[in-house]
């Protein structure tokens, strides 16, 4: 996960060299790389990373891997659509280890689904969803890796959230690693 630390450092160094729009796009590009790094450490078919917009407190998709995933996407909750919004509201993960129904991409049904909140200072700042066509895909070893990944990813989401919503100069904010 040292590569994620390097991504954080790159983003920190780049913040004063880009416009706000350019910086947001840079962060999203680097988040795509982070999901690819997670895929190097654990096996999954698809993932989606959502960030919580501070202004309207709704989830916004930041990046996908393998087509992305969000169950019950047609149902609206307080923080947006899908199971991710429910997870953000309740601040509790959902792990469906052996799903017997449903299909995705024709013959490859999702069998394991994990949706976990990303919490900073007791507030949700994002949600990570992972899915696999194999049952029991996210067990103890994988959960420890996912926890470490989220701990490393959290500062990047904090940077994005602060920079995107009114914090023009991060060096003057209270943000520290």
Domain containing 89 — which CATH number?
A: 3.30.450.40
In a domain, 26, yes or no: yes
Q: Is residue 174 part of a domain?
A: no
- Residues 85-100 have a mean pLDDT of 92
pLDDT digits (tens, 9 = 90+) for 162-171: 766 533 333 3
Taking the C-alpha atoms of residue 76 and residue 89, their distance in angstroms, rounded to an integer, is 12
In a domain, 172, yes or no: no
pLDDT higher than threshold 80 for residue 174: no
Structural domains counted in the chain: 1
CA distance 99 to 72: 14
Kindly state the DSSP code that residue 66 receives in the 8-state scheme. T
| Residue 107 belongs to domain spanning | 2-166
pLDDT at 176 over 50: no
Query: Which one is predicted more confidently, 131 or 175?
Result: 131
Domain contains 51: yes
Inside any domain, residue 138: yes
The contacts of residue 151 (CB under 8 Å, 6+ apart) are: none
Position 25 confidence tier, pLDDT thresholds 50, 70, 90? confident
Q: What crossing angle do the helices spanning 20-41 and 140-164 adopt, rounded to 10°?
A: 180
Asked whether residue 176 is assigned to any structural domain, the reply reads no
Question: Does residue 116 or residue 161 have the better pLDDT?
Answer: 116
């Amino acid at each position: 996960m040292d590569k994620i630390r390097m991504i954080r450092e790159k983003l920190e160094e780049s913040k004063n060299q880009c416009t706000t729009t350019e910086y947001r796009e840079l962060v999203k590009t680097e988040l795509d790389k982070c999901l690819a790094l997670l895929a190097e450490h654990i096996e999954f078919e698809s993932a989606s990373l959502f960030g919580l917009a501070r202004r309207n407190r709704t989830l916004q998709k930041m990046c996908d891997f393998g087509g992305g995933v969000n169950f019950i996407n047609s149902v609206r909750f307080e923080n947006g659509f899908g199971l991710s919004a429910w997870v953000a509201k309740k601040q509790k993960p959902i792990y469906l280890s052996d799903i017997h129904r449903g299909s995705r991409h024709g013959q490859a049904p999702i069998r394991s689904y994990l949706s976990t909140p990303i919490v900073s200072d007791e507030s949700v700042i994002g949600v990570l969803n992972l899915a696999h066509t194999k049952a029991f895909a996210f067990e103890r070893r994988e959960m420890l890796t996912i926890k470490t990944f989220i701990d490393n990813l959290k500062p990047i989401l904090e940077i994005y959230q602060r920079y995107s919503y009114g914090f023009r100069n991060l060096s003057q904010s209270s943000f520290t690693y």
